[in-house]
Amino acid sequence: MAITLNSGFKMPILGLGVWRMDGKDIRNLLINAIKIGYRHFDCAADYQNEVEVGEAFAEAFQTGLVKREDLFITTKLWNSDHGHVIEACKASLKKLQLDYLDLFLIHFPVATKHTGVGTTGSALDEDGVLDIDTTISLETTWHAMEELVSVGLVRSIGISNYDIFLTRDCLAYSKVKPAVNQIETHPYFQRDSLVKFCQKHGICVTAHTPLGGSVSNTEWFGSVSCLDDPALKGLAEKYKKTVPQVVLRWGIQRNSAVIPKTSKLERLEENFRVLDFELAKEDMDLIGSLDRKHRTNQPAKFWGIDLYA
């Protein structure tokens, strides 16, 4: 299953996120993911594993496991590189050993103090607050992103962690419309208004943290996971699936792409088996009633400022 983006390119609706994947595990995880059938991979400069990801892709291409054109590969511009978009994109391409990206996203809607291309620093000021660069507008950054399309380095461009108002602004000043808005959304943080706004205006929603962060975000942010919800456990029993499979299927049936992350082979296989069943309308409605407006990924913990305030 794939979603046709407003750029005309197709993006597989199910992908694999590589956030918090350790370098030593990446080769086996990505090679096995490709063998299982994954064709959509979500990366970012800030994940600091583009080199290892690129080595795995190179091996897959060289051994004939898959062709470059069979994969949809995303990476992201970090906050400290808003004034160096082309250089940052080229740095990511070099690390990933690619000639082009299928999708390049603005990781967060904020420019911060430059720390060197590709270094993905988050400089803090003397008060321990993120050192925001007020000289670079998001419009300036977007027009630099558009340049990447015109020179052929990137096929589609998009945004990430943008709310309705920032998304509306991007639509107003863009010549090349954002193809994707990648946001946190899951049963406990459904953001229905934002999802519907994006889809109404031809922007595909990709759900990062589609399982609510599970153990990772509980450890980092003290958040609550939807995977323990009794209603979701009941649906898993009804459909003879796991709770993560039910949650991912719900995301897909909202017409959003989902990019669950895992470092376990058995989970790779489990997460991929979500295209062979369908949730009934009453069960979609039941999950719709579980919204807690609970964000599980909150970088304010590290940045000393709530960008979502």
Asked if 214 contacts 239 with a C-beta cutoff of 8 angstroms, the reply is no
Question: Does 82 carry a binding-site annotation?
Answer: no
Q: How far apart are CA 169 and CA 199, in angstroms?
A: 16
Asked if 1 contacts 13 with a C-beta cutoff of 8 angstroms, the reply is yes
Q: What is the CA radius of gyration of the chain?
A: 19
243-253 and 265-272 helices cross at what angle (nearest 10)? 40
Q: What are residue 172's phi and psi, to 5 degrees? A: -70, -40
The string of DSSP codes covering 38-94 is --EEE--GGGT-HHHHHHHHHHHHHTTSS-GGG-EEEEEE-GGGTT-HHHHHHHHHH
- Confirm whether 173 is a catalytic residue: no
Catalytic residue among 47, 100, 188, 308: 47
Asked if 270 contacts 233 with a C-beta cutoff of 8 angstroms, the reply is no
User: Residues at the annotated binding site?
Assistant: 107
User: Residues at the annotated binding site for substrate?
Assistant: 107
Active centre residues (catalytic)? 47
